[in-house]
Amino acid sequence: GWDPSPAYLALFCHRQARCGGGHTDLLDIRRLVDALEPAELTLMTDAELTFPGPDGGVRTAMLGADDTGRTALRFSYNLLTAADYDPHHDSDVDDSRLPLGRAGRRLAHRVSDLFHELRTRVLIPENALLIWDNQRMLHARSEYADRARHLTRFWAGDRTRA
């Protein structure tokens, strides 16, 4: 819910997970847009929702452009399916309490399916830094069990996008 959202995200890997998981998964929004149905894309570009954050958060569409014409993406599976950024594991929220109702829940599941199909998986080498455009790339991490995995996350702005 920051306004503007961080232009870039970065992860520095101090120690990889040693369990076969812990990948950083990325998907360029342009690949996602090409795979969406017209009605799904319309929901992402036309429907506004509130992304919680400082000073009440930000009310905006999920997909648009910033003042320079660059793609600007905001998306949260949890927000669309549980009305919360950090829901309880087994939470079951009635569609009427969701920011975009049943249509938003369907969109979240569809984007999740496409994300898993189209993503690029990156296992960040130890002592390496992975940087990506936060306003253009969907991102997630794969599951892992190694509690010794250690990454440091950085957020960075871009004055040319302000």
Residue 162 clears pLDDT 60, i.e. is over it: no
**Residue range 121-137, pLDDT digits in tens:** 999 999 999 999 999 99
Q: Determine the pLDDT at residue 81.
A: 94
Q: Sign of dihedral through CA atoms 116, 105, 132, 31?
A: positive
Q: CA-to-CA distance for 61 and 30, rounded, in angstroms?
A: 16
Residue % of the chain over a pLDDT of 90: 65
3-class secondary-structure state, position 26: strand
For the domain made up of 8-161, give the CATH fold.
Double-stranded beta-helix (3.60.130)
Q: How many CB atoms lie within 10 A of CB 143?
A: 10
**Residue range 14-73, pLDDT digits in tens:** 999 888 888 999 999 999 999 999 999 999 999 999 998 888 889 999 999 877 778 889
Domain boundaries, the chain: 8-161
CB contact at 8 A, 47 and 100: yes
